[in-house]
Amino acid sequence: MSAEALREMFQVAAPSGAALITYATGCYPDRKRSAEVVRAMLAAGADAVEIGVPFSDPVMDGPVIQKTSVAALSAGATVDSVLDLLREVRGGTARPLLIMTYYNPVFRYGLERFAHRAHSAGADGLVVPDLPVEEMGPLKAACDSAGLATVAFCAPTTSPQRLGAAAAATTGFLYCVSQLGTTGARESLPPGLPGFLARVREHASCPIAVGVGISTPEQCREAAAMADGVIVGSALMKAVAETDGSLEPLSRLVSEMSEATHRPRERENHQQSVRGSGGAPWNAFL
């Protein structure tokens, strides 16, 4: 079952660090090579992969994922072809696989139909970035009935009250947007991140994963000391885009990120203040 697979992943990762969740635009560069990209990520140590159904108007995404989305759509990506890709990858892994896309493709496909087909293709969860908790009701109902985990979002601007509501709407993990802005590389993690994640912990007993703007193994290491999961997308898609066909640069980067995420520095200061002591803070959630 889907939410369980995610919980188990966080539990296994917790003693020494966090889980590494990678993103791949489905059918980028094309349907066949896209499956190789996802397999390479898993082989190099990704604990879970979000497979994106590209959308024509990705307002939460920066230049890299905008480009891979356009390219994937030109290569013929559809909801069905991405679900088919997920099914193929599922044949070779037991690790969690999620679908990430914007609301309109899901709405157009039919919420129930989408959730059921995604689940039967082997997806564990669904991540939709343009769906604040106020609008999540119908999709959450469809996911619940299909056995698909839901992922709600929070950001540094989210009020305590809405944090609580987001945590309540999530059955997978809470996606913490590290900073204001679209997806893509930043020079460093924002200085307010430890405070933001500490605030999230106060209001959410579910696992929390941090994403947006995390592009280097070092940033993964820092983030892993504060969260249960670290999400990386643009940096990996850039590695795929810039290669001449070899997936070696991607594999190397994922492997370094996996190493950094699974064993953040012991001396990391944030660890005590944010994570507290004595086991994963979301144990009560399980």
Partner 1 sequence: MIDAKKGYYGRFGGRFVPEPLMAALLELEEAFLEAKRDGAFTAESSRLRREYAGRPTPLYRADNMTRLLGGATVYLKREDLCHTGSHKLNNTLGQCLLARRMGKPRVIAETGAGQHGVACATAAALFSQECVVYMGEVDIERQAPNVSRMELLGAEVRPVGSGSRTLKDAINEALRDWVENVSGTHYCIGSVVGPHPFPGMVAEFQSVIGTEMLEQFLAAEGKMPDVLVACVGGGSNAMGMFAPFVGEGPLLMGVEAGGRGAAPGEHGATLGLGEVGVLHGAMSYLLQDGDGQVADTHSVSAGLDYPGVGPEHARMKEEGLATYTSASDGEALEAARFLARTEGILPALESAHAVAYAMRAAPGMRPGQSIVVCLSGRGDKDLETMKEHM
d(CA 16, CA 25): 29
Nearest residue to 86 via CA among 44, 167, 27: 27
Nearest-angstrom CA–CA distance, 232 and 212? 7
Q: Considering the candidates 50, 124, 222, 228, report the single residue annotated as catalytic.
A: 50
Beta carbon nearer to partner 1, 13 or 79: 79
Least distance from C-beta 22 to partner 1, angstroms? 20
Nearer to partner 1, 53 or 226 (CB): 53
CA angle 223, 197, 227 (to 5 degrees): 40
Smallest distance, partner 1 to C-beta of residue 195, A: 16
Whether 50 is catalytic is yes
Instruction: Name the minimum Å distance from CB 63 to partner 1.
Output: 8
Which pair of structure tokens corresponds to residue 78? Answer: 């559809």
The backbone torsions φ and ψ at residue 127, rounded to the nearest 5 degrees and listed phi first, read -120, 120
**Omega before 29 within 30 of 0, i.e. cis:** yes
* Nearer to partner 1 (CB atom), residue 131 or residue 274: 131
Instruction: Give me the count of residues in the chain.
Output: 286
Is 244 a residue of the active site?
Answer: no
* Residue (2 or 178) nearer to partner 1, CB: 178
Compute the least distance from the CB of residue 95 to partner 1, in Å: 26
Catalog residues that contact partner 1 under the rule CB under 8 A: 55-60, 62, 66, 70, 73, 78-79, 103-109, 129-135, 137, 153-159, 161-162, 165-166, 177, 180-182
3 state DSSP class of 177: strand
Residue 186 neighbours by CB distance under 10 Å: 17
Among 47, 61, 124, 222, which one carries the catalytic annotation? Answer: 61
> What positions carry a catalytic annotation?
50, 61
